[in-house]
Amino acid sequence: MGASDLPEQPMPRAPQPGRQRAVTRRGGPGKAGPTKEHRRIRREARTVAAMVGIYCQGHHDTAGGHLCGECQALLDYALLRLSRCPFQEAKTTCAKCPVHCYAPARREQIRAVMRYAGPRMLLRHPLLALMHLIDGITNR
Ligand SMILES: [Zn+2]
């Protein structure tokens, strides 16, 4: 008796529209499988490597995936920045990143690379280019 009149408790489910996905969450424990964030970072690394490759080939007459010293240094720099990106799993594309982690000179270099390689990515690496575009749209 009386068991059926439970006090009605409206579930407090305040919507939090402004809440960013996982701002400070670091590689959580116990989540099996390849994590989404690592896929994203790895993809970003492949994208930037491909872009620098295209740029170097077009500007410095290198071929076969070899980079000149200058471009290799730029790529190393970009990959280092990426590995230290504070966003990791919530990473957007660098072009939209609010933290400008590149030194100004490097930033100019990478922008030149992206301007040149961006359109060409669609031809050479359509899937990477597409995923890069989607990353930029879905995660900002
Ligand atoms: Zn080069």
Whether 19 is in a domain gets the answer no
pLDDT over 70 at 62, yes or no: yes
Whether 49 is in a domain gets the answer yes
- What is the pTM for the complete model shown? 0.65
Whether 31 is in a domain gets the answer no
pLDDT at 84: 84
Instruction: List C-alpha distances in Å: 110 to 13, 26, 100, 115.
Output: 44, 27, 12, 9
Whether 13 is in a domain gets the answer no
Whether 16 is in a domain gets the answer no
| Number of domain units in the chain | 1
Confidence tier at 120 by pLDDT (50, 70, 90): very high
Distance of CA 37 from the midpoint of ligand 1 (Å): 29
Contact 75, 107 (CB under 8 A): no
Whether 67 is in a domain gets the answer yes
Whether 86 is in a domain gets the answer yes
The residue behind tokens 């359509």 is: 126
Whether 12 is in a domain gets the answer no
Fill in the amino acid letter for 47.
T
Distance of CA 93 from the midpoint of ligand 1 (Å): 23
Distance of CA 86 from the midpoint of ligand 1 (Å): 28
